[in-house]
Chains A and B, each alone.
Chain A
Amino acid sequence: MTAFALERQARMTGLSDPMVPSPFRVQRVRRETYDTFTLELEPANGADGFPFAAGQFNMLYMFGVGEVPISISGDPTKPQTLVHTVRAVGTATQAICKLKRGDVLGVRGPFGNHWPVKEAAGSDVVIVAGGIGLAPLRPVIYYLLSNREKYGRLALVYGARTLQDLLYKPELEKWRGQFDLEVEVTVDTAATSYRGNVGVVTTLIPGVHFDPLHTLAMVCGPEVMMRFTLRELEARDVRPESIFMSMERNMKCAIGSCGHCQFGPNFVCKDGPVFRYDQIEAFFAKREV
């Protein structure tokens, strides 16, 4: 056996070759909406769990079908279970969304950087999420709530297309009921009988309570929504150095060597996916980069 093959085998046994997925077993599937599912996974090979930082993502592999980058949407303080919220939009994600308890999925990761939850200590935190953008932000909410005393005011502003598209409804209600977290939810369209907010998520920002001088904002959603959100945050005097956003690009390797996820000089897989707005402001304003 050649030296290279020996090394490769050692790495694979140690599950450290970043291009090789590890098998994870589905423990539970929860249907969030008609096309979005949350999967709870555990390592199939007896490993202890899956430590990660809020904002990181994994490459999820459907055996023989393909691989997709999906943010981790679980609780970083409870790494025994790996949680992913997946929307069925393509071949691989459609296959993933058909998995049942006991099925196996390949996982490689975690990749990428993370939301600045530690750096936010002492500040107010405003979380603005659009659509499935709430999934990469949910770990932040878990983390902040489990360290509640370290932060000032906390606010979640969340928008989705319709009521049926809202994620994590039971948790939204629980968070809203906590009294120490402001939760504002809106939908783009609703039936006339609806008594909640109707309108885009950006319309909620003027009314959120926070001190713009001591606030970190964390934003995730479609790029258009993030662009409009930035305007509203700036209108509230939040500085670009205090705004963080999660970007998305095509990914194949997730380790910075396939070249696909480039966004200007940044590789979204390793320089991101979380970026501080002032650091990418110039490229964010450009089209088709």
Chain B
Amino acid sequence: MKGLSPQGRQPAVLERDHLQLLLDILGKRGYRVVGPTVRDRAIVYDDLTSLADAPVGWTDEQDGGTYRLKRRNDGALFGYTLGPDSWKKFLHPPVVRLWRAKTGGNGFQIIEEDEEVPKFAFIGVRPCEIHAIAVQDKVFLNGEYRDPSYEARRQALFIVALNCGHAGGTCFCVSMNTGPKATFGFDLALTEVLEADRHYFVVEIGTELGAEILREVPHKAASEEEKATAERIVAETAGQMGRTMDTRGIKDLLYRNYESPRWDDVAKRCLTCGNCTMVCPTCFCTTVEDVTDLTGEHAERWRKWDSCFTMDCSYIHGGSVRASAMSRYRQWMTHKLATWIDQFGTSGCVGCGRCITWCPVAIDITEEVRAIRRSERGR
């Protein structure tokens, strides 16, 4: 993980239009540049070669079970917070062929995949998303088995982070200590500044590679005033969080409350649709599908995103261990906030709020924690 501290490297200033040159340089260096764009009335991450495709002048309004894009009254390039996509769709893709095989030889032979590892440049990674990538690094890179595909994509990755100019309706990065400012894990970090007569980015340099790329784009050193402006923007964002979560002793709180009646309450609302697991940037469950063609001589193994909300997930001979909706919601939430800590040393939650926004019945993870805490005080 790129953790080189930006200390010692002075922030720079990049004019709005010159950001296009940054995209161009990255493209010329063989990166597949991906970033935010508007599609189907949401901000999604896709190929971004031109700033014209960025969500210029768009913002989002989010709350429990609600997401709307709204027009801004300015030309901000990144005036939104987060869409349903997260960067895991590139680092840990939803559908991956693991191998192919054919019959013959000693029974069967594996056919090598000659997959080109894409070299990604992510434009516009929010601080909470940097934390999410770090969380997934611990899942895929720290165990006895390192995921080779994830590792290859991670090593080649160039990150242009984006500090947040305002907080989303469901954001709680401050509670989770994951934002609204990027403090590590980026090559470059931008703070967008819109003033009456100027539109620029204050750029922090995180790595040598980031510095190298920036050298090829017109920029100048940031003045004290420009630096202060960027800091003020971020400080204001920190004060606008849409949600909060008290994380003190949260692991033991949830471990103590597996039998809380609150789970039955959530179960009445939860549809087990699994939206939360799809939009969550740290959820990593997958399933494996073995398929064959009609001749029976060619087989493939595919890995696909899965969700702990499915009945299949916990199925063993004759039944699912987690058959009730209650047990599946409880599994998701206690994993995210409690058992994850014992497994990987950090929380699984980065406070991005997507699960709250994209839940069709507006279940709010911060509210569920609050309710469980409250239920203890009542005893």
Contact = CB atoms under 8 A, between A and B. Distances in A.
Q: Is the A/B pair a real complex?
A: yes
A104 B116 contact: no
A24 B322 CA distance: 34
A172 interface: no
Q: Is the contact region of chain B dominated by helix, strand, or loop, or is it mixed?
A: mixed
Interface in A1-40: 1-5, 7-9, 11-12, 17-20, 23-25
B284 A259 contact: yes
Contacts of A288: 321-324, 326-327, 330
B8 interface: no
B152 A252 contact: no
Interface residues of A, number: 52
Nearest to B111: A12
Given A44-B106, A64-B299, A250 B323 contact: no
B313 interface: yes
Interface in B291-335: 291-292, 296, 298-299, 301, 303, 306, 308, 312-318, 321-324, 326-327, 330-331, 335
Given A66-B290, A265-B343, A250 B148 contact: no
A23 B331 contact: no
Contact of B285 (A4, A65, A248, A260): A260
Contacts, number: 147
Interface string A251-278: 0110111111010110100100000000
A3 B335 CA distance: 35
Contacts of A250: 312-316, 321
Given A20-B99, A289-B331, A67 B288 contact: yes
Nearest to A66: B290
A63 interface: yes
Interface residues of B, number: 62
A235 B145 CA distance: 41
A255 B306 contact: no
Contacts of B292: 63-65
Given A255-B143, A258-B287, A262-B339, A2 B114 contact: yes
A90 interface: yes
A61 interface: yes
Contacts of B317: 89-90
A249 interface: yes
B196 interface: no
A272 B296 CA distance: 35
A23 B99 contact: no
A104 B339 contact: no
A267 B99 CA distance: 25
B113 interface: yes
B113 A8 contact: yes
Given A44-B106, A249-B321, 18 more contacts: A2-B115, A5-B115, A7-B148, A17-B148, A18-B145, A20-B99, A23-B107, A63-B103, A63-B108, A65-B292, A255-B143, A257-B140, A257-B147, A257-B286, A258-B288, A265-B338, A270-B143, A289-B322
